[in-house]
Structure 1
Amino acid sequence: MTGPFRLLRWCLLAFAAAMIPAAAQACTLCSCTASTTALSFGSYSPVTASPTDASASVSINCTGLVSLFGLVEIRASAGTSGTALQRTMEHNGSTLRYNLFANSARTEVLADGTGGTTTITTPLNGLLFFSTVAPVYARVPASQWVASGTYGDTVIITVQY
């Protein structure tokens, strides 16, 4: 779409490569890696009555002596807005509201589990190898009149195991 309603691409721009071991060891003598897929809302039009939805995923792979009863927790930073409940993307001084969610209904805001937010928790089930992919859901609310352009934010994803 061109003109004043052309928009807007956003990607998860940052990913915390730090895999933080949990207090209770879920992974003994193991090594884990994590990665994210890009999150892009594509084109957004403020005249559309429905929100613009997108999704991405966090992939986690561990090798070594992995616990059969451990947990992996995925958290998301608040982004540049500083508050996870009111995330914004920016472009040349304009802001566009959006958020990240832990569920497909987009009712559970993904962050650090405090202040009305939640985390994604998945079982760590494996002996010598563990792999999982966790979806992350996103939404830009409808009817936001903003300047056209490419909007972006930086969100840090942290995986605790």
Structure 2
Amino acid sequence: MRRLIMSGVALCVVSSVEAANVQSCTVSNSAINFGIYDPLDPVSDDNNAGSVQINCKLTGTGTASVDVALGASAGTPAQRRLVNGSYFLDYNIYTKPSYTIIWGDGTAGTNTQQGTMSKAVETLSWTLYGRVPAGQLNVAPGTYTDTVQVTVTF
């Protein structure tokens, strides 16, 4: 009889760590707006923040892990570019306000971000720390833009 009780306890532990199934997810964001860039200021980087949110519906019990990668439409994840016609401004997106770890796709020295979900409906949120380095002189007046692709892997 003692052996049956121990088997039942072991089965309960195993079933509590099963992965939940991700039924559906939506991704939303708040854009990083760098404002006005001054090419004549050789010292002050232009920093600002945005965010990305992932809202998922889960089925089953347990947890679901997500991995969030950021691509680049101009440049590479290791060195992104804001574009205005044939002109560009180098910039990047970082995982922390220290601006030391580039948030990318896991290649060329970039990192992705991870999270774990355990509720039937859960939202995870990350802050995007953007920086345009000072001292970029070959720029023209106008609006510079880039579109960053967010890839979520379960």
Asked if these proteins are the same fold (TM beyond 0.5), I'd say yes
Other structure's SS at 2:65 match: strand
1:66 and 1:100 mapped to 2: Cα distance? 35
Higher-helix-fraction structure? 2
Q: 2:128 aligns with which of 136, 143, 147?
A: 136
How big is the shift at 1:29?
Answer: 5.6
Specify every segment of 5 or more residues in structure 2 that has no aligned partner in the other structure, as ranges. 1-17
2:103 and 2:122 mapped to 1: Cα distance? 23
How big is the shift at 1:66?
Answer: 6.0
1:26-48 CA distance string (max 9 Å, x none):
54162221111122111111233
Q: Which amino acid in the other structure matches residue 113 of structure 2?
A: I
- Which residue of the partner structure matches residue 71 of structure 1? 65
TM superposition score normalised by structure 2: 0.78
> Does the 8 Å contact 2:20/2:63 carry over to 1?
no
Higher Cα Rg, which structure: 2
TM superposition score normalised by structure 1: 0.75
2:83 and 2:59 mapped to 1: Cα distance? 43
User: For the aligned residues, what is the CA RMSD?
Assistant: 1.9
User: Which protein has greater RCO, CA pairs closer than 8 Å, 6+ apart?
Assistant: 1
Q: 2:105 aligns with which of 112, 128, 134?
A: 112
Q: 2:146 aligns with which of 144, 153, 158?
A: 153
Q: 2:25 aligns with which of 28, 32, 45?
A: 32
1:43 and 1:60 mapped to 2: Cα distance? 30
The structure 1 segments of at least 4 consecutive aligned residues displaced by more than 6 Å after TM superposition are none
1:135 and 1:36 mapped to 2: Cα distance? 10
Equivalent pairs counted in the alignment come to: 135
